[in-house]
């Protein structure tokens, strides 16, 4: 049986895998210090992460909002052999995290984003820095890790690489536009992302901006992509990318910025080249790519209801794209660079990199200093697990 030939667009890079170092799955192992999960689903969604942290014997940090809660996650973990820190992260103390210029730039515009995933991940970075956790895993609550030791292999690689992602299997993790492109026959790959990412907290001082594809920007620093590896397997649970047109609208600016910047990286160019002229040309490519994908979807011989939803989402993305101007892209990149300095200063204020950490390993001290004690549940391992019959 022959594989169908995939369409390659001149307006889109369907893969950025050439930027990654593929590590062998027989790489050395290193202990994982913490698994950090930004969760908004029912606490039952944390079962896999609880079991994973128990097997790897590391602390599990659940940053909860919406349908999740610190109490709910703690109740799920109370009978497991796991150390747990669960925090209600929907209303954080003022100044716990810095105010970013990128947020101010988009506030009150059609591009303003109200998701809290980036905020939670940044909180996780701050807590890890103060608690002295070095090898940390970011894991989404809809991703499974079939082989826990893949995280230990990735943890060892953080001594050499700025970030180590896992190969995403299962349902592809792409933007709405890229999902449509793939389903219509386009050559579309999957990059590494924050859903299954291992970093070293002392050597990686990046932050997650509040925008779609924030994980790509997190990995990027100083006008380039530092050495980044990929190893092991993570399995993304399925979802419907075309369930709501608004998803495509909310993703478009972040998709434009990340894909535009990574186009430069793919060609071995510096992000400094992302000036007004570059963005003007790239935005034209992006709109051509969406229109090309719309044409491809229209030709599909498949479920008409799904095809109609795909087209509706693509039209929403196309409309949103027309409001994105070169000036906005240039200013966002400038603000993002300034925010990186703001974040590094924020980390240094809380725990200077060249000074001994007086709170290392003391979760209680960290929570107290950050003003999070009243909104947290902490289960030490020895109290979290009571063998039957005792």
Residue 387 pLDDT exceeds 70 = no
Q: How many domains in the chain? A: 1
Report the pLDDT value the prediction gives residue 382, as an integer from 0 to 100.
Answer: 62
In a domain, 299, yes or no: no
In a domain, 304, yes or no: no
Q: For 370, which DSSP code?
A: H
- Separation CA 43–CA 62 (nearest Å): 10
Q: Using alpha carbons, list the distances in angstroms from residue 91 to 260, 371, 376.
A: 33, 12, 12
For 159-210, how does the pLDDT look when each residue is reduced to its tens digit (9 = 90+)? 999 999 999 999 999 999 999 999 999 999 999 999 999 999 988 889 999 9
Dihedral Cα 168, 171, 176, 177, nearest 10 deg: 70
| 206: CATH | 3.90.550.10
Lowest mean pLDDT among 228-237, 277-286, 294-303: 294-303
Q: Using alpha carbons, list the distances in angstroms from residue 292 to 42, 185, 269.
A: 39, 12, 26
**Higher pLDDT, residue 152 or 383:** 152
- Separation CA 299–CA 84 (nearest Å): 51
In a domain, 303, yes or no: no
Residue 384 pLDDT exceeds 60 = no
In a domain, 336, yes or no: no
In a domain, 236, yes or no: yes
| DSSP string computed for 213-244 | THHHHHH-BTTB---EEEEEEEEEPP--TTS-
Report the pLDDT value the prediction gives residue 189, as an integer from 0 to 100.
Answer: 97
Report the pLDDT value the prediction gives residue 388, as an integer from 0 to 100.
Answer: 34
Report the pLDDT value the prediction gives residue 75, as an integer from 0 to 100.
Answer: 97
Report the pLDDT value the prediction gives residue 3, as an integer from 0 to 100.
Answer: 56
Q: Please calculate the CA angle 159-163-150 and round it to the nearest 5 degrees.
A: 80
Q: Using alpha carbons, list the distances in angstroms from residue 367 to 213, 315, 364.
A: 29, 46, 5
Residue 1 pLDDT exceeds 50 = no
Report the pLDDT value the prediction gives residue 107, as an integer from 0 to 100.
Answer: 97
Residue 109 pLDDT exceeds 80 = yes
Backbone angles phi, psi at 14, to 5 degrees: -75, -10
Region 72-90 average pLDDT: 96
Region 133-138 average pLDDT: 98
Given a contact cutoff of 8 angstroms between Cβ atoms, the answer to whether 235 and 169 are in contact is yes
In a domain, 329, yes or no: no
Q: What percent of the chain has pLDDT over 70?
A: 97
**Helices vs. strands in the chain: H and E counts, helices first:** 13, 10
- Separation CA 216–CA 237 (nearest Å): 20
Q: Which of 1, 147, 148 is nearest to 60 (CA)?
A: 148
**Higher pLDDT, residue 301 or 110:** 110
Task: Identify the domain containing residue 125 by its residue range.
Answer: 17-241+352-384
Buried b (16+ CB within 10 A) or exposed e, 176-193: bbbbbbbbbbbebebbbb
Q: Is 68 exposed, middle or buried (0-12, 13-18, 19+ CB in 10 A)?
A: buried
Please enumerate in sequence order all residues whose Cβ is within 8 A of that of 77, keeping only pairs 6 or more positions apart, or say none.
46, 50, 60, 84, 86, 379, 384
Buried b (16+ CB within 10 A) or exposed e, 226-235: eebbbbbbbb
Region 84-108 average pLDDT: 96
Given a contact cutoff of 8 angstroms between Cβ atoms, the answer to whether 181 and 14 are in contact is yes
Mean pLDDT rounded to a whole number for the chain: 95
Region 257-282 average pLDDT: 98
Report the pLDDT value the prediction gives residue 49, as an integer from 0 to 100.
Answer: 99
Backbone angles phi, psi at 109, to 5 degrees: -105, 175
- Separation CA 102–CA 210 (nearest Å): 8
The alpha carbons of the chain give a radius of gyration, in whole angstroms, of 21
Q: Please calculate the CA angle 344-109-65 and round it to the nearest 5 degrees.
A: 60
Region 222-250 average pLDDT: 96
For 329-374, how does the pLDDT look when each residue is reduced to its tens digit (9 = 90+)? 999 999 999 999 999 999 999 988 778 888 888 999 999 999 999 9
Residue 385 pLDDT exceeds 50 = no
For 211-221, how does the pLDDT look when each residue is reduced to its tens digit (9 = 90+)? 999 999 999 98
Helix pair angle (363-370, 117-131), 10° resolution: 130
Report the pLDDT value the prediction gives residue 133, as an integer from 0 to 100.
Answer: 97
Report the pLDDT value the prediction gives residue 302, as an integer from 0 to 100.
Answer: 74
What's the pTM?
0.95
In a domain, 132, yes or no: yes
In a domain, 259, yes or no: no
């Amino acid at each position: 049986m022959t594989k169908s030939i995939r369409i390659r667009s001149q307006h889109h890079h369907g893969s950025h895998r050439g930027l990654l170092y593929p590590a062998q799955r027989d790489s050395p192992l290193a202990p994982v210090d913490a698994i950090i999960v930004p969760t908004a689903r029912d606490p039952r969604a944390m079962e896999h992460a609880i079991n994973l942290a128990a097997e790897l014997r590391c602390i599990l940090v659940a940053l909860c909002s919406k349908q999740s809660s610190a109490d709910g996650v703690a109740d799920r973990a109370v009978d497991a052999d796991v150390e747990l820190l669960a925090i209600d992260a929907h209303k954080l103390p003022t100044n716990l995290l810095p105010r970013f210029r990128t947020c101010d730039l988009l506030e009150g515009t059609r591009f303003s984003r109200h998701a809290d995933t980036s905020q939670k991940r940044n909180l996780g970075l701050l807590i890890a820095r103060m608690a002295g956790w070095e090898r940390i895993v970011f894991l989404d609550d809809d991703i499974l890790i079939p082989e826990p030791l893949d995280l230990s292999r990735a943890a060892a690689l953080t001594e050499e690489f700025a970030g180590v992602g896992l190969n995403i299997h299962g349902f592809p993790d792409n933007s709405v536009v890229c999902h449509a492109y793939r389903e219509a026959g386009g050559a579309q790959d999957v990059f590494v992302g924050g859903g299954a990412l291992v970093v070293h907290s002392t050597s990686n001082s990046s932050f997650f901006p509040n925008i779609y594809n924030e994980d790509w920007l997190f990995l990027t620093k100083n006008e380039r992509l530092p050495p980044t590896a990929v190893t092991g397997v993570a399995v993304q649970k399925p979802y419907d990318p075309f369930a709501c047109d608004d998803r495509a609208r909310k993703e478009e600016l972040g998709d434009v910025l990340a894909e535009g910047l990574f186009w430069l990286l793919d060609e071995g160019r510096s992000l400094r080249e992302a000036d007004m002229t570059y963005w003007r040309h790239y935005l034209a490519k992006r709109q051509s790519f969406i229109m090309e994908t719309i044409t491809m979807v229209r030709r599909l011989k498949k479920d008409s209801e799904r095809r109609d939803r795909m087209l509706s989402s693509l039209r929403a993305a196309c409309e949103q794209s027309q409001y994105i101007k070169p000036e906005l892209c240039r200013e966002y990149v400038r603000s993002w660079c300034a925010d990186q300095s703001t974040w590094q200063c924020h980390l240094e204020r809380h725990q200077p990199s060249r000074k001994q950490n007086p709170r290392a390993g003391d979760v209680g001290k960290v929570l107290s200093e950050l003003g999070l004690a009243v909104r947290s549940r902490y289960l030490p391992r020895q109290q979290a697990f009571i063998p039957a019959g005792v």
